[in-house]
Chains A and B, each alone.
Chain A
Amino acid sequence: ETGVTQTPRHLVMGMTNKKSLKCEQHLGHNAMYWYKQSAKKPLELMFVYNFKEQTENNSVPSRFSPECPNSSHLFLHLHTLQPEDSALYLCASSQDKGTQPQHFGDGTRLSIL
C-alpha cells in the first residue's frame, strides 16, 4: 500500500547525463519532501515544499534541482552527478508541513557510473 508513487524504481546514469525523478501522491496532502538515504548515513532531508512553495533547501548541491508544479507532483532533476550521489532517493508527503506523519514512496535507487 502506498499513496505515494515514485518513478523510476531504479536508475543508472553516467555523470554527464540529465535525468529526472518523479513523485506523485494521491493522499490530498499539501507538503512534499525529498530525502536521500545512503548506506552509512541517516535519512537526509533535501527539500520541502508546502502548497507548491519551496520552504526548505537543506544545503543541497545545485546539481539537484527540485520542481513542484502542483501539490500532488514533485520532481527532482539531476545533472552532472557524482559517484557519491548514488543512493536511495525517497519522496514523502504529509498533510501539512507541521507535525503530521509522513508517507513515503518506495524510492528510486540511483546509481552513478
Chain B
Amino acid sequence: GQQVMQIPQYQHVQEGEDFTTYCNSSTTLSNIQWYKQRPGGHPVFLIQLVKSGEVKKQKRLTFQFGEAKKNSSLHITATQTTDVGTYFCAGGTKAAGNKLTFGGGTRVLVKP
C-alpha cells in the first residue's frame, strides 16, 4: 500500500534559524496537504498542493511539491517559538479515491 515518510522525525531549531522538513511518497500523488499539530492540540490544515513543481508561501512558511509529485518539503525561515509542534504531510492518490495517508510527522522543538 501507499506509504508516506517524513524526515527528520525530530527537529531541534535555534530561534531565528531556518529549517526544512521533507515528505516522500512511495507512489505518485494527486495532491499533498500539510497539517500542524500543537502540543496537546489537534491537526490543523495549513495548505494543499496539487500541481507538479508547485510552490506556495504562507508568511515564513514555504511549501513545495516535487516535479514527479512524489515528494514535498516545508521550509520555515526565522523560526519562532510559535512554530513549535508536529508538522504532518498527507498524500492522496486517485487510485485510492484520494484517501489521505499521513506521514509520521516532524516534531519541531525551538530553543530560545
Contact = CB atoms under 8 A, between A and B. Distances in A.
Contacts, number: 48
Interface stretch (A13-21, A73-81, A100-108): A100-108
Contacts of A2: 42
Majority-rule SS of A interface residues: loop
A67 B4 CA distance: 29
B62 interface: no
Interface residues of B, number: 23
Task: Using C-beta atoms within 8 Å of the partner chain, give the interface range for chain A.
Answer: 20 to 34
B42 A107 contact: yes
A43 B43 contact: yes
B85 interface: no
Interface in A81-113: 90, 92, 97-99, 101-107
A106 B4 CA distance: 24
Interface string B78-94: 00000000001010100
Nearest to A55: B97
Nearest to A4: B42
B7 interface: no
B98 A97 contact: yes
22 contacts: A2-B42, A42-B88, A42-B103, A42-B104, A43-B88, A43-B90, A43-B102, A48-B99, A55-B97, A56-B99, A90-B42, A97-B97, A97-B99, A99-B30, A99-B48, A99-B98, A101-B33, A101-B45, A103-B45, A104-B43, A106-B41, A106-B42
**Closest 9 A-B residue pairs measured CB to CB?**
A43-B102, A101-B45, A104-B42, A42-B104, A99-B31, A98-B98, A104-B43, A99-B98, A42-B102
